[in-house]
């Protein structure tokens, strides 16, 4: 299993939306939280709410390859 995934559209941090009422904070991880549920997380929430590990059972880093509009 890969420790990263490439997306073509930005996804946003689920915890920023839920707790901080900031709906447009870009997520850089798809990871399991210490409380159990998985989510898309920004760097701050990945460092504070997860086991800070990547791989099977922990999560993946999100890499973006967003198409430029001309």
Structural domain that includes position 36: 4-64
- Report pLDDT for 66: 76
Long-range contacts of 23-29 (CB under 8 A, 24+ apart): 27/62, 28/61, 28/62, 29/54, 29/59, 29/60, 29/61, 29/62
User: Is 8 within the bounds of a domain?
Assistant: yes
Residue 21's region, left for phi above 0, alpha for psi from -120 to 50, else beta, is left
Residue scoring higher pLDDT (8 or 66): 8
Q: How far apart are CA 21 and CA 65, in angstroms?
A: 26
pLDDT surpasses 70 at 1: no
User: Is 32 within the bounds of a domain?
Assistant: yes
How many domains, the chain? 1
User: For the segment 21-59, what is each residue's pLDDT rounded down to a tens digit?
Assistant: 999 999 999 999 999 999 999 999 999 999 999 999 999
User: Is 69 within the bounds of a domain?
Assistant: no
User: Is 70 within the bounds of a domain?
Assistant: no
């Amino acid at each position: 299993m890969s420790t990263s995934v490439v997306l073509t559209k930005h996804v946003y941090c689920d915890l920023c939306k839920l707790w901080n009422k900031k709906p447009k904070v870009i997520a850089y991880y798809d990871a399991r939280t210490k409380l159990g549920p998985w989510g898309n997380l920004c760097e701050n929430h990945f460092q504070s709410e997860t086991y800070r590990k990547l791989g099977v059972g922990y999560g993946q880093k999100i890499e973006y390859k967003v198409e430029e509009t001309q």
